[in-house]
Structure 1
Amino acid sequence: MKKVMIVDDEILIRETIRRCVDWEKEGFIYCGDASDGEMALPLLEEQKPDILITDIKMPFMDGLELASVVNKQMPNVKVIVMSGHDEFRFAQAAIRLGVEDYCLKPVSSSELVELLHKVSRKIDEEQQSKRNQGMTKEKLLSDLCGGLIAAAEAIEFAEKLSLPIRARFYRVAVLDVRALNDAGALSDEELLAIQAGIDRWNVPAAEGFTFVRGRTELVRIFKSNVADSLSDSIEPIGARIRSELEEQYGCVITVGIGSLQERLQGIHFSYLEATEDQYITRLTRQNKISLKEATFREKTDILLDRAKFLDFLKIGTLAQRDGFVREFAEDLRRIDWRSSSYGFYLLNDLTLEAFRVAKQWFRSPEDPADRIERMQQSLRRAASWEDCLEYLNTLFLQLWQWREECSDKYGEVIDKVKAYIQDQFSNDQLSLKEIASHVRISPSHLSKIFSQEMGQTLTEYLTQVRIRRAMELLKSTPNKMFEIAYDVGYGDPHYFSNLFKKMTGMTPKEYRNQGTAEPKAGHSEATDDRRTN
């Protein structure tokens, strides 16, 4: 949405323009106004509008002077000047100053909206032209990871670059590469050599793209049409490649791997998860080195039953917590908490593992870094076995609170989405964008949280609702197949029939005659992708 600012010394004109346009509906944001050019300049710096509409005749600094300043200092801002009929020569001068367009007073709301859309299209064209000129394979992949490009635009650029990015499934690995001696960045030549080594990370039935995203960061995006190939093979192959490259180049490589995603824009989510996983992995690796050194130095070797701890994290209750913690931590009595660092490294290792597993279980979009840092600060203050017990009790509370926040955070939004789909499923133009607009969050964020909370994509849920309703109509009405298809949101009866059979195992006619099948859960999004993309 483009931001628009108005500058005019007549408050009535400013208020009329502000009120006569439904800004959000037309795709704009009204970001403020000012009474003259001098008053407008600090607002322009603060709001950074895309379009500036200014009167010509104003006190202190007129519109031509303002347009001249904006053209030099903010060349990306498009300026539209307003003038009366007797000021046409000023408008001509404004055009020479580089303003985008002009309009004659009084201007109607329809004329203004048409002019705004004209300028908006030009902004889009210029931005697209700049992106076309600067788009490379590395930038495209980086923008996908950063969530900075829409799927349709990414596909268009990929075709121009002859980059085959389309697939059913995606997964991202992030590699932090640092020199062994000082943990700093490697040279560009070494980083490129390691990138070439990572290109050997071949997974059966999958392809990958590797690119450099920072001085110490390499990213590999995997794609495949077979989910299992990305679920089973990445970790073991990645561990072997990492070990080989570390030995060959004398560096330290920490790998983080994101979750499997079914959409091109899911690359962004998988990248974020891989970054968080890499962060925890790096902390864990550093802690294990310190723990090993402390074990050797202090000749202490205490083993904690991690599996038991994680099981209790998943199913334990607050009433059971104190008793479990005392039993679990019994061996930690032997540690001299005041003089030894062994206890810190041991519990820190347990903490990092607990956070890693909890993030996977609770399906949280939150970055755990802040929580981990707070827990580490608390752990450093532990000076006795009793402090150790208090720390473990707090750790459980923190992780259980995280679990509750994740389960409750989006409950209301999901309920609204489900209710809206139940009400609107017969609309064959129902889209992810429309549903997201109804609940007032972005389409990409809605897609992610719905999948996390419901265990299925929004498309899958919509399809199930439609097919269940079709099954009811087939049993309770004599309506023809094309009528039922239309009633449940499918304008193409042939497509509806094929989808119905895929979901139930029967054609609509077979179901009407004899069927009692139920629609299948978790079918591929491709079955109805054209409806909700």
Structure 2
Amino acid sequence: MYKVMIVDDEPLFRDYMRSKLDWASHGFHICCEAANGREALEEAKENRPDLAFIDISMPFIDGLQLAELLKQTQPDISVVFVTGHSEFDYARQAIRLGAQDYLLKPFNKVEFSTTLQRVKRTLDELSRPAIQENTIPPKTRSTEVVPFDVQERLILTLRMREMDAVREELSRIWHEMNNIEISSVIGRGYLEALINLCRAYIIESELSPEEVWGTDSTLEQQLQTLRSWEEAELWILELFSKAVNYRESFKPSKSYQLFTSAKAYILQNYPDSELTVEGVAQALYIDASYLRKVFKKEANISVVDYITYIRMKEAKDILLIRSIKLSAVAEKVGYNDPNYFSKCFKKRYGLTPSEFEQLHAKKANPE
């Protein structure tokens, strides 16, 4: 049986985890407990658990710090965060630290069982003899193989539920990965990171991966069957598409209808340098504070950030089509100050508009 360590500062919750859940039927047993991160490090050193269930909010050392420290001494330990925090940033930090899953309190026994099944498959893979040639080697370490700026762009497009933009970001990834073997550790790491990023977005949306994907209990097994980036692209695209479009199958709420209307208004009026949150709210006959709450609820993003997102996206499209003065591009997307526009563009894409234009020209006309 695989060994489990429970780390939570609430005695009643540790008691629930220990006495009310059926670990043995899934091939696990609890080997130790800890009330905080300091105790957990000592217990892990002595007991070498295969799996750690960790609460994020704890005294002395929080759960995210603890996970990072545990993986420094035991890289293959599986980590599941159990917490009352539902913010996406927590989930995103968790997956970047190589967390196997992320459960929100209160969770039910079905969610618990599904998580243990997923963890057990990973542990079983790690304990097997060397895998056959041409299969993808298992990898459970940090998902930081995907650059942070790439994660940020994908997060934003997911939050906006804009599948065309998601497709564009994924296409950029496939281009970057073109010279890397899909069966390599890096290739596997990229695919796992993309799955986890999408999974975290689903959690942020207060849904479950199983609910959106039908079941994600076989995702790791499916990953093993991929033999080319072409197969991976189609497979990953389907997962992201289901995540983005899931809510569209239901009758949209009043909040979501308002969110959609606000996005449409911003898309039509982004060239106006005087466009403000108050202006958008007034056009929709609602209070600005309510509009901010709607964007927070539906996309976990501010209205101002969305306006900037649209402006940067349109600026990039202009630069890809034709050569144009910086001041003219800035004006077309709602900026009176070209220098400020350039700063915003670099923050979004990592390059100034001029650098972006030169890079695109070099790719279009290689020597």
Report the TM-score when normalising by structure 2: 0.37
Q: Which has the larger radius of gyration?
A: 1
Report the TM-score when normalising by structure 1: 0.28
More strand by share: 1
